[in-house]
C-alpha cells in the first residue's frame, strides 16, 4: 500500500512537471523562456529533445522520432523547385551536369541546439539543404538553412560564370559548438563535411553528407570545371 501511494504521488508530480514544463524552464535563461512560450508544439518538442536529460527527458521525443520529424519537414518542402524558382530556371535549362543535392545538420556556434543521440550521432536543431545546377556557361548554387526549434530560415542563391570559378573543394572541418542554459555553457567539437566554391574574393561553403552518390557527383563536378578551364 505504501509503495502504491508512493507511485501515485511520484506519477502525479511527474505529470505536473511535464504539464507546466518545469524541467525546461529550469534550463532556459529568462529571455529564452519568454521565446519558448511563443513556439509551436513541434518546436517546443524539439527544444525539449535537445535540452532535457534524466527524469525530465522521460516520455520526450527519441532520436528516431526526431529524425522522423525532420524527414517529414524535408518531404513536404520541395527545395529543388524552390531553388529553380529562385533563379528563374527550368530543369531543361541546366543540363550541363546532373543536379546535385547536398544536405546535413548545420552546426553554427551557439545559434543552434545540439546533442549527441543515444546512437552516438551528433544532431543539430538546424539543417541545411543545397542544390547545385549548371548550364553551359553558368554554375548555380542555392542553399536553404532552417531551424526546427524556431521560425528562423536563411536562403542564399549564387550564380557565376564557369570562367570565374577558381575551384571546387570537399573537406572535413572541426567546429566548436556551444549550448547555453541558465546554469552553464556546454561546449563540444563537431566534425562537419563541407563543399566549397572559391571565386575571386570569396569562398562559398555549404555542408554535405558523405556517401558514394554525393562523392561521385562532386568528383564529376570538379572534372567538369577542369574541362571548362581547358577549353
Q: What's residue 36's pLDDT?
A: 84
E strand residue ranges, the chain: 100-105, 114-116, 122-124, 126-134, 138-147, 153-161, 167-180, 185-199, 202-207
Q: What's residue 88's pLDDT?
A: 97
Q: What's residue 12's pLDDT?
A: 47
Range(s) of the domain holding residue 37:
2-66
Same domain, 42 and 148: no
For 115, the grid coordinates are 546533442
Q: What's residue 31's pLDDT?
A: 66
Using the 3D structure, point to which of 18, 39, 66 is the last residue of a domain: 66
Same domain, 166 and 196: yes
Same domain, 211 and 101: yes
Number of domains composing the chain: 2
**Does any domain span residue 71?**
no
Q: What's residue 13's pLDDT?
A: 45
Same domain, 55 and 119: no
**Does any domain span residue 51?**
yes
Using the 3D structure, point to which of 66, 89, 111 is the last residue of a domain: 66
Q: What's residue 10's pLDDT?
A: 45
**Does any domain span residue 72?**
no
The arrangement of strands across the sheet holding 185-199 comes to 167-180, 185-199, 202-207
Between CA 110 and CA 56 the distance in angstroms is 23
Residues of the chain short of pLDDT 50, as ranges, are: 10-13, 16-17, 19
Q: What's residue 181's pLDDT?
A: 61
Between CA 218 and CA 230 the distance in angstroms is 19
Using the 3D structure, point to which of 66, 86, 107 is the last residue of a domain: 66
Q: What's residue 204's pLDDT?
A: 94
**Does any domain span residue 124?**
yes
Same domain, 159 and 188: yes
Same domain, 131 and 212: yes
Q: What's residue 16's pLDDT?
A: 46
Same domain, 29 and 96: no
For 193, the grid coordinates are 563535411
Between CA 179 and CA 45 the distance in angstroms is 17
Same domain, 144 and 211: yes
**Does any domain span residue 159?**
yes
- Output the average pLDDT for the chain: 86
Amino acid at each position: 500500500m505504501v509503495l502504491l501511494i508512493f507511485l501515485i504521488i511520484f506519477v502525479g508530480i511527474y505529470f505536473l512537471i511535464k504539464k507546466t514544463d518545469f524541467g525546461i524552464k529550469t534550463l532556459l535563461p529568462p529571455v529564452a523562456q519568454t521565446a519558448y512560450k511563443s513556439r509551436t508544439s513541434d518546436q517546443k518538442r524539439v527544444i525539449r529533445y535537445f535540452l532535457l536529460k534524466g527524469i525530465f527527458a522521460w516520455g520526450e521525443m527519441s532520436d528516431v522520432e526526431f529524425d522522423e520529424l525532420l524527414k517529414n519537414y524535408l518531404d513536404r518542402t520541395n527545395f529543388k523547385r524552390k531553388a529553380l524558382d529562385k533563379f528563374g530556371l527550368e530543369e531543361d535549362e541546366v543540363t550541363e551536369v546532373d543536379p546535385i543535392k547536398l544536405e546535413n545538420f548545420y552546426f553554427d556556434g551557439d545559434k543552434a541546439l545540439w546533442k549527441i543521440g543515444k546512437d552516438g550521432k551528433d544532431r543539430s536543431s538546424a539543417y541545411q539543404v543545397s542544390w547545385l545546377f549548371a548550364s553551359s556557361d553558368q554554375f548555380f548554387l542555392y542553399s536553404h538553412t532552417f531551424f526546427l526549434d524556431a521560425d528562423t530560415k536563411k536562403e542564399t542563391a549564387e550564380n557565376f560564370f564557369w570562367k570565374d570559378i577558381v575551384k571546387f573543394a570537399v573537406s572535413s572541418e572541426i567546429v566548436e559548438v556551444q549550448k547555453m542554459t541558465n546554469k552553464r555553457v556546454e561546449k563540444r567539437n563537431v566534425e562537419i563535411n563541407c563543399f566549397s566554391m572559391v571565386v575571386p574574393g570569396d569562398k562559398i561553403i555549404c555542408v554535405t553528407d558523405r556517401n558514394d552518390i554525393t562523392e561521385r557527383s562532386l568528383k564529376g563536378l570538379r572534372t567538369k570545371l577542369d574541362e571548362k578551364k581547358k577549353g
